[in-house]
Each structure stands twice: as structure tokens, then as C-alpha cells.
Amino acid sequence: MKRFKVFAISLLLSACHPAEIAPPSCRVANHAQSSQAGEGACVIKINSKLLVIQRSDDQYDLPFQQNLSDQSAQCAAHYGTWIETGFNVEVGEQLTTQRNGVALFACHLQAGFDGTEADLPPPPWRPSKVDALQFIYPFDIDLHQWHGPDQFVAVKDAFILYKEADKIDAINTSD
């Protein structure tokens, strides 16, 4: 009987513990395959709007997580976007590199957004620094509204270089 009680209590406790959600496999377009290691971030452009995170300090930023493994910069960009936005994007070609060495990639979101949506809620697993997701036109904001002002020129350059694709030849890869 004692074993049953211990089993029942452990079962109840495990049922109350929030389940961890495994990140999706890295998605990189066939034409953009690269094994270059490093840090990367996604530039997601939809109808002339840039998807950004709004941080808890009210500044804007690209979704980003520091690359703590030997994964490619593209997979680091994919993972950072998923962690901070919940979106399983497809990583395309490299657009430019920020001064701090972070590669900026054209990432494609195939989730039915048109860029006119109001603030979107971030996923429950996001870091505490992320308050909301927004679509903005980067030339309408002030330099000091960007989290890393010295990186903002590269972000605007990447936004201009981004080509929105209708059809993307994707594969799933894992590092």
C-alpha cells in the first residue's frame, strides 16, 4: 500500500510539472546550405515589415540566442528565432554581418501573417527579456529604440537586401 501511495503522489507531481517542448529541427533552404559555425540571427520580412521582439526595456531587437555549441550560424539563427518567437522559420541566404560578428540571414515565416498584426504574444518558453512580438518598419523608429544601436545599420541593410520568396526549396537538417 505504501508503494502505491508513493507512486500515486509521484504521478500527480509529474502531471503538474510543465512539459518541456523540444525545439524543431533546423530548417535551411537547399540553396543556402552552409556549415559556417558562429552566431546568427533571423531577419523576417513580411510585406515591408520586419518581425522584431520587443524587449522588457521597451527596445526592439531581432530574435537571438547565443550559440553555445558547434552548430552552424544558420542553425543558431533558427534556434534563437524559435526560442524567442515560437516560429519554426526556414533560414535562407546570409544577408550581411553585424559589427559584433553575428551573421544576419533571410528567414522565411510560412504562418499566414501579413505584417499588419498587432502585438503578438511570445511563446511561454521565451526568455524573460522578451515581452512581445511586433511587425515594424525599421526606418520609422529611432536609433535609440534599438537594443544594440551599433548593430542597427546592419539590420536596416539586411532589411533592404532581403528578397521575399514565394516558393522555398526546404530541407530539414540537424547539426
Question: Which residue's C-alpha cell is 512539459?
Answer: 19
Within its chain, how far is the Cα of 94 from the centroid? 15
Distance CA 15, CA 129 (A): 28
User: Is 80 exceeded by the pLDDT of residue 175?
Assistant: no
Whole-number Å distance between alpha carbons of 47 and 50: 9
Neighbouring CB atoms inside 10 A of 32's CB total 17
Q: Which residue has the higher pLDDT, 167 or 50?
A: 50
User: What confidence tier does 170 reach under pLDDT thresholds 50, 70, 90?
Assistant: very low
Residue of higher predicted confidence among 173 and 88: 88
The amino acid sitting at 22 is A
**Which pLDDT tens digit goes with each residue over 43-102?**
999 999 999 999 999 999 999 988 778 789 999 999 999 999 999 999 999 999 999 999
pLDDT at 70: 79
pLDDT digits (tens, 9 = 90+) for 11-59: 343 444 445 677 788 888 877 777 788 899 999 999 999 999 999 999 9
CATH topology of domain 24-173: Nucleoside Triphosphate Pyrophosphohydrolase (3.90.79)
pTM reported for the whole predicted model: 0.79
For residue 5, name the pLDDT band (cuts at 50, 70, 90): very low
